[in-house]
Amino acid sequence: MRIDIITVLPEILESPFNHSIIKRAKEKGLAEIIIHNLRDYSEDKHRKVDDYSFGKGAGMVMAIQPIEKAIETLKSEREYDEIIFTTPDGNLFNQKVANSLSLKKNIIILCGHYKGIDQRIRDHYITMEISVGDYVLTGGELAAAIITDSVVRLLPGVLSDETSALTDSFQDNLLSPPVYTRPAEYKGMKVPDVLLSGNDKLVDDWKHDQAIERTKKLRPDLYRKFSGS
Ligand code: ADE
């Protein structure tokens, strides 16, 4: 899968994809993540990418020209399945959206900034508008990092069987059960006996029960989806 991210602040995205699982996914050739500096597409002599908004609205708006050129340049090189815009007024991102994006071949993520982008870009180029939560970030870069991270880890071969995404919280509308590691007892705090029993069936049943109990308690909204009530 190839993800092209268009941003005015490429520096913010230097680190998130260069560690651990995402780094290995890139090294194995399972994911290609390419960061584009929007200013490189500006035809302004000062590489400007924003301008004052028409009408009374205060604040700068990302201009149509550099974005149109960036998107058209990429589209002339390959076909894209989705062109995503990160914005607080987009559709809320969740595991289901991550799952569906992980099935795509090529996507573009355009990071929002300032007071927004010229609406004509949204009307004519953007195929999906995504918010990562009901709060406002200073820009869409961290949202793009969240989307990319959650999608890339789902690609076949990125996670080992042990860390398989199938057992993630949210995949079946259940939170994950608690986990423990050695020692079995620390300063009087004990690991539940069942996990030391060696009985796989008992352990699996316990994990499932715990997942249900935690979801009921911590995320009653998810539990309703799980139980279909
Ligand atoms: N840009 C600013 N806030 C955002 C949010 N919550 N989600 C996506 N992009 C954003």
Mutation choice for ligand 1 from 12, 97, 131, 148, CB with most ligand atoms inside 8 A: 131
Residues in the chain: 229
Nearest CA to ligand 1 atom 9: 87
CATH class of 169-227: mainly alpha
Per-residue pLDDT at 163:
63
Residue 224 or residue 165, greater confidence: 224
Q: Which fold has domain 2-152?
A: Alpha/beta knot (3.40.1280)
Taking the CA atoms of residue 16, residue 17, residue 22 and residue 26 in that order, the dihedral angle to the nearest 10 degrees is 180
Inter-helix orientation angle 200-218/220-227, to 10°: 120
* Ligand 1 binding pocket mutation candidate from 94, 113, 122, 137 (most atoms within 8 A of CB): 137
* Span of 35-39, 140-144, 156-160, 192-196 with lowest mean pLDDT: 156-160
Distance 135 CA to ligand 1 centre (A): 7
Per-residue pLDDT at 70 exceeds 80: yes
**Ligand 1 mean position to 102 CA, how many Å?**
20
Instruction: Determine the pLDDT at residue 114.
Output: 82
- Residues near ligand 1 (Cβ within 6 A): 86-88, 112, 131-133, 135-137, 140, 143
Distances from the Cα of 94 to the Cα of 101, 127, 209, angstroms: 11, 17, 24
Nearest ligand 1 atom to alpha carbon 133 = 6
Q: What is the pLDDT of residues 71-99, one digit of tens each?
A: 999 999 999 999 999 999 999 999 999 99
Segment 101-115 mean pLDDT: 95
Distance 80 CA to ligand 1 centre (A): 22
pTM: 0.94
Task: Determine the average pLDDT of the residues in 157-186.
Answer: 87
Task: Output the pLDDT for position 162.
Answer: 62
As given in the structure block, the two tokens for residue 179 are 């986990």
Residue 34, pLDDT > 80, answer yes
What was the pLDDT predicted at 60? 93
pLDDT band at 119 (very low <50, low <70, confident <90, very high): very high
Least Cα distance to 68 among 119, 30, 107, 19 occurs for 119
- Taking a C-beta distance cutoff of 8 angstroms, is the pair 49, 62 a contact? yes
pLDDT recorded at residue 190: 98
Domain residue ranges of the chain, discontinuous segments joined by +: 2-152, 169-227
Establish how many alpha carbons lie within 13 A of residue 14's alpha carbon, considering only the half-sphere containing its beta carbon.
6
The residue nearest atom 5 of ligand 1, judged by CA position, is 88
Closest Cα to atom 10 of ligand 1: 87
Neighbours of 27 (CB within 10 A): 9
- Decide which of 46 and 163 is more confident: 46
